[in-house]
């Protein structure tokens, strides 16, 4: 699966299971919000409770980069 920027996203290390629901995570579009902006992003999430998997790379790298860009405006 690819996200909106065309990068391939997969959970590192194989299949991920939701701790709450014990269901495999599935790819899907989720809304990421920062301040008053919202962005659709393709991530893995639980089909039952909606819990989203955000990799360390995404949280520290791309999200921090986007946060800095938005704050500069």
Q: Are 25 and 17 in contact (CB under 8 A)?
A: yes
**What's the chain's average pLDDT?**
77
Q: Are 25 and 2 in contact (CB under 8 A)?
A: no
Query: Cα torsion for 20, 35, 37, 24, to the nearest 10°?
Result: -10
CATH number of the structural domain spanning residue 10: 3.10.20
pTM for the predicted model, two decimal places: 0.63
Range of the domain at 55: 1-73
Per-10-residue mean pLDDT for the chain, 73 residues long?
45 76 92 82 92 84 74 67
pLDDT of 13: 54
The domain total for the chain is 1
């Amino acid at each position: 699966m690819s996200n909106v920027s065309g990068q391939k996203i997969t959970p590192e290390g194989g299949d991920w299971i939701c701790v709450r629901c014990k269901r495999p995570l599935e790819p899907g579009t989720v809304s990421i919000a920062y301040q008053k902006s919202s962005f659709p992003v393709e991530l893995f999430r639980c089909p039952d409770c909606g819990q989203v998997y955000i990799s360390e790379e995404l949280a520290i790298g791309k999200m921090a980069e986007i946060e800095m860009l938005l704050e500069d405006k």
